[in-house]
Chain A
Amino acid sequence: MHTTRARDSEFTLLFQIIAYAVILVLSIMCLLPFLLILSGSFSSNESIVRDGYHLFPTDFSLEGYQMVFKFPTQVLKAYGVTVFTTVVGTALGLFLITMAGFVLQRKDFKYRNTFSFFIYFTTLFGGGLVPWYIMLANYFNLTDTYTVLIFPGLMTPFLIILMKNFIRSAVPDELVESAKMDGANDFRIYFSIVLKLAMPGIATVGLFLALGYWNDWFTSSLFINNPDMYQLQFYLYNTMNTITFIDQMAIGTGITLSQDVPTESTKMAMAIVVTGPILFLYPFVQRYFVKGLTIGAVKG
């Protein structure tokens, strides 16, 4: 008896050592690239070009940030678009996803299996890029609208499934039943009970949605022709691509481009400016995060 307990604690200790070591290594692996960018943004361009990137700036300089904010209108516009799409998209998406999740987990919804099938089916078989593009551009006529930046990302099957399972485990059927007996209708149940109890799930899904919108560049790339409507990520990505383009494609094409090309440190500074705000969102939702994701694992 005594020995098993000792061995138990030995194993616990061993487990903890391994666990901490693994987490430590993983965290460092995640942090290092970010540190490199951070240090790059504070280095002078010359030192980057000559010696490459360092973990700590060898030649401290703020010229990157100066460049970014020298002509801030474009960056600010792109910021505005991204903030707008993120806020509206997340709010709207949360509303739709919680609604869908709520409806799909209700046992008294007759067609829930049919609807679920339609939703899950799209995760297995997608139409591909071209039909998707044709749908949005030709049928919905969404080119150069803010709608196109929000609409395609509103609902994803994965998040609906997540939300459905969450609501199922957070809101017992008995609760819904008793509320009904007390005279609450479905909307009342949705607003007063489901939304309140599903808070951790909403925070999780909300964060996923917000990250999705914040990091989105592809939709801008395909559907937006008006530079004032570029999302922040695309603005950044496009600036970098123009540089690559000048280098790679301009060979033998003889085309002349009359744009200013930002330097290495400027690009890094831009990356920091772009990622900054979303980093601050993390601590606020983080406490819900663990609970939200693991729900459904324990039946209780």
Chain B
Amino acid sequence: MHMRNKIIRHLSQVLALMLFAGVLAACNNGSGRSAQGSEEGASSTDKGEKVTLQFYMLGDAPKDLPVIESEVNKLAEADLNVNVKFNYTSWTDWDQKYKLLLSSGQPMDLIFTADWTFYQSYAKKGAFLPLDELLPKAAPTLQSHVPEDMWNAVKINGKIYTVPSTWIEYVTEGIAYREDLREKYNLPKPESLETLEAYLEGIKANEPSMIPIADSNSNHTHGIRQLTSKLVNTAGQLPYGLDIMYDSPSTITSYWGSSQHLEDLKTYKRWMDKGFFPKNVLNVKDTSNSLLQNGKAAVVLSGENPNKFNADVIKVQSTHPDWKLGYFAYPNAKGFAQPVHPIHNGFAIPRSSKNPEKALAFYEKLVTDKRYNWLTEYGVEGKNFEVQDGYYKMVGDAQTNGFPREGMNGWAWRNPDFMLYDKTFDDVLAMFEELDKIKKPDIFTGFAEDWTPFQAEKAALEQVEKQYLYPLNVGLVADVEAGLNTFMEKAKQAGLEKIQAEYTKQWQEYLKSAGIQ
């Protein structure tokens, strides 16, 4: 009896396990990932064993990705005997996923990098393979395609960790505004803080149903800082409330708590009182651009780079042909423009890659072979796009077309020699030409901040900012001066001074090593 019970107990254990394993197996089948494990080794450049490269991109995949993937794989299999699997992170918690992908040692062969995905700090930590020796062996064409000074600009501690995009663009921002309303009510062009305020007042007085400023949260502060200062950072604010001016980069002061800061906050309070912001501004989730496009707002103050402004113009032309949009580029107020740094768009080979040479060879094809490049940037010719008078033309519309222009988010492998532009993009290129005239090198983006010494303080400070600074930025605090004092007090408790001191130290070391005065 006892014996039998024991056997049954064993049996039941086995049964439960089998059941479980069965379910696992059933679910695993058909996912197409099981083949991956067996494809190790093989790292000779001349074809060799067939491997599947894992390619990681940010954002959401376009609808037609499977079609493009199989087309690319046909080419890649013939040329290099590789297959590629394109993976997307989606925009939800992409930064956390990015971190997990790199820290888990999951096999990956190519991954997107940029300054805003913290390329510099990952490279410093050794998450990517150095490419200096691989490049001449695996991708000589790619090596000569990218100019020498770009290779130098992306070096971290003397080594190359990413393949930069060679297409030069400006992501400098500006003020987008309703030009037709300005003409109608005879308002000044919003090109300084004073004229901007006058313009907003005019809108509020004449169009009571509009909310003059479209920015949600407190993004307008980025814009105002660019309008009124010559900060070293193109994209508005510097972290941790610091002030570094382009002309004197080694002098660092704190913007937070300064009289200028108080002045600006008073301006925002005045704007709120005048009704330039919606009352629930901190909770607005609509994009500034959609508010402008729908005619709910008259001005966008931040995030409006030439590219995005162009998109607004196109949208407005189709929905409200009687409207007109105006644009004032912040570089015009600053007196100089900085093109994006080569770090801004690139691809790296993670340390976990099992086929670094093949990965680099494939990436070379993606950039320098027109067939690959067009497929992944514009889709299948005739099905997704057509070339008309040298311009890109989408087949159908955004709803029916499964692969819009740059639908794979392929910003990093844009090749100026092959690029097709939409006809409407001519205006952006014209803007770029204007900005070229006042071009100065970007001295900020090459800097790699290392926040490990103040990680805890950084997190605490972010909380304090959200709680005490954001309401000030949109004028929701009655007593601005007291509010600023509270914020500064809380920020100091969170460790602001330590952060600022450490950041300053790192910045000055960078200036010295880069030879910037």
Nearest B residue to A154, CB-CB: B20
Chain A, 214-256, CB within 8 A of any chain B CB = 217, 221-222, 225, 227, 234, 237-238, 240-256
Chain B nearest Cβ from A45, distance in angstroms: 8
How distant is the Cα of A103 from the Cα of B217 in the complex, in angstroms? Answer: 54
Contact B90 A222 (CB under 8 A): no
Q: Is the CB of A197 closer than 8 A to any CB of chain B?
A: no
Contact B399 A71 (CB under 8 A): yes
Q: Is the CB of A66 closer than 8 A to any CB of chain B?
A: no
Contact A144 B33 (CB under 8 A): yes
Q: Is the CB of A86 closer than 8 A to any CB of chain B?
A: no
Contact B290 A261 (CB under 8 A): yes
Contact A137 B106 (CB under 8 A): yes
Contact B305 A252 (CB under 8 A): yes
Contact B302 A264 (CB under 8 A): no
Chain A nearest Cβ from B5, distance in angstroms: 7
Contact B287 A247 (CB under 8 A): yes
Q: A49-B296, A186-B12 are in contact. Are A221 and B114 (CB under 8 A)?
A: no
Chain B nearest Cβ from A127, distance in angstroms: 13
A251 contact from B5, B105, B235, B279, Cβ within 8 A? B235
Contact A141 B24 (CB under 8 A): no
How distant is the Cα of A120 from the Cα of B176 in the complex, in angstroms? Answer: 58
Contact A254 B305 (CB under 8 A): yes
Chain A, 170-206, CB within 8 A of any chain B CB = 185-187
Chain B nearest Cβ from A62, distance in angstroms: 19
Contact A145 B33 (CB under 8 A): yes
Q: A138-B106, A238-B92, A264-B286 are in contact. Are A253 and B114 (CB under 8 A)?
A: yes
Chain A, 247-299, CB within 8 A of any chain B CB = 247-261, 263-264, 267
Q: Is the CB of A97 closer than 8 A to any CB of chain B?
A: no
Chain A nearest Cβ from B288, distance in angstroms: 6
Chain B nearest Cβ from A226, distance in angstroms: 8
How distant is the Cα of A130 from the Cα of B97 in the complex, in angstroms? Answer: 10
Q: Is the CB of B121 closer than 8 A to any CB of chain A?
A: no
Contact B296 A260 (CB under 8 A): no
Q: A186-B5, A238-B60, A254-B171 are in contact. Are A222 and B97 (CB under 8 A)?
A: yes
How distant is the Cα of A129 from the Cα of B288 in the complex, in angstroms? Answer: 35
Q: A50-B296, A71-B399 are in contact. Are A243 and B287 (CB under 8 A)?
A: yes
Give every chain B residue within 8 A of A88 (Cβ-Cβ). 23
Q: Is the CB of B344 closer than 8 A to any CB of chain A?
A: yes
Contact A151 B24 (CB under 8 A): yes
Contact A252 B27 (CB under 8 A): no
Q: A49-B291, A144-B31, A258-B406 are in contact. Are A137 and B302 (CB under 8 A)?
A: no
Contact B12 A227 (CB under 8 A): no
Chain A nearest Cβ from B309, distance in angstroms: 12
Q: Is the CB of B144 closer than 8 A to any CB of chain A?
A: no
Count of chain A to chain B residue pairs whose CB atoms are closer than 8 Å in the complex = 166
A260 contact from B211, B340, B399, Cβ within 8 A? B399
Contact B173 A252 (CB under 8 A): yes
How distant is the Cα of A147 from the Cα of B222 in the complex, in angstroms? Answer: 45
Give every chain B residue within 8 A of A240 (Cβ-Cβ). 285
Contact A227 B60 (CB under 8 A): yes
Contact A92 B287 (CB under 8 A): no
Q: Is the CB of A34 closer than 8 A to any CB of chain B?
A: no
Give every chain A residue within 8 A of B342 (Cβ-Cβ). none
Give every chain A residue within 8 A of B350 (Cβ-Cβ). none
How distant is the Cα of A118 from the Cα of B286 in the complex, in angstroms? Answer: 48
Give every chain B residue within 8 A of A134 (Cβ-Cβ). 104-106
**Secondary structure of the A side of the interface?**
helix
How distant is the Cα of A258 from the Cα of B171 in the complex, in angstroms? Answer: 17
Chain B nearest Cβ from A11, distance in angstroms: 44
How distant is the Cα of A145 from the Cα of B34 in the complex, in angstroms? Answer: 10
Chain B nearest Cβ from A145, distance in angstroms: 5
Contact A237 B12 (CB under 8 A): no
Q: Is the CB of A41 closer than 8 A to any CB of chain B?
A: no
How distant is the Cα of A260 from the Cα of B311 in the complex, in angstroms? Answer: 13
Can you list, as one digit per residue, whether each of B281-317 has a CB less than 8 Å from chain A (1) or not (0)? 0001111111100101000001101011001000000
Chain A nearest Cβ from B43, distance in angstroms: 21
How distant is the Cα of A185 from the Cα of B5 in the complex, in angstroms? Answer: 8
Chain B, 349-396, CB within 8 A of any chain A CB = none
Can you list, as one digit per residue, whether each of A55-96 has a CB less than 8 Å from chain B (1) or not (0)? 000000000000000010000000000000000100010001
Nearest B residue to A224, CB-CB: B90
How distant is the Cα of A277 from the Cα of B280 in the complex, in angstroms? Answer: 31
Q: Is the CB of B16 closer than 8 A to any CB of chain A?
A: yes
Chain B nearest Cβ from A224, distance in angstroms: 9
Chain A, 123-146, CB within 8 A of any chain B CB = 129-130, 133-134, 137-138, 141-146
Most B CB atoms within 10 A — which of A146, A225, A257, A267? A225
Q: Is the CB of A161 closer than 8 A to any CB of chain B?
A: no
How distant is the Cα of A250 from the Cα of B61 in the complex, in angstroms? Answer: 17
Q: Is the CB of B405 closer than 8 A to any CB of chain A?
A: yes
How distant is the Cα of A61 from the Cα of B150 in the complex, in angstroms? Answer: 54
Give every chain A residue within 8 A of B289 (Cβ-Cβ). 246
How distant is the Cα of A109 from the Cα of B110 in the complex, in angstroms? Answer: 52
Q: Is the CB of A300 closer than 8 A to any CB of chain B?
A: no
Nearest B residue to A240, CB-CB: B285
Can you list, as one digit per residue, whether each of B335-353 has a CB less than 8 Å from chain A (1) or not (0)? 0000010001000000000
How distant is the Cα of A151 from the Cα of B26 in the complex, in angstroms? Answer: 13
How distant is the Cα of A147 from the Cα of B34 in the complex, in angstroms? Answer: 13
Q: A52-B279, A71-B399, A145-B27 are in contact. Are A252 and B33 (CB under 8 A)?
A: no
Q: Is the CB of A99 closer than 8 A to any CB of chain B?
A: yes
How distant is the Cα of A137 from the Cα of B36 in the complex, in angstroms? Answer: 13
Nearest B residue to A234, CB-CB: B92
Q: A234-B92, A252-B171 are in contact. Are A150 and B59 (CB under 8 A)?
A: no
Interface residues, chain A, with chain B CB atoms under 8 Å away: 46, 49-50, 52, 71, 88, 92, 96, 99, 129-130, 133-134, 137-138, 141-147, 150-151, 185-187, 217, 221-222, 225, 227, 234, 237-238, 240-261, 263-264, 267
Interface contacts beyond A71-B399, A141-B37: sample of 8 additional A-B pairs, CB < 8 Å, sorted by A? A130-B100, A137-B106, A186-B9, A187-B12, A217-B92, A253-B171, A257-B409, A258-B405
Interface pairs (25), CB distance under 8 Å: A49-B284, A49-B286, A50-B209, A50-B211, A50-B296, A52-B279, A71-B399, A92-B23, A129-B100, A133-B104, A138-B106, A143-B33, A187-B12, A227-B61, A227-B90, A237-B92, A240-B285, A245-B91, A251-B173, A252-B173, A252-B234, A253-B344, A254-B170, A254-B171, A256-B406
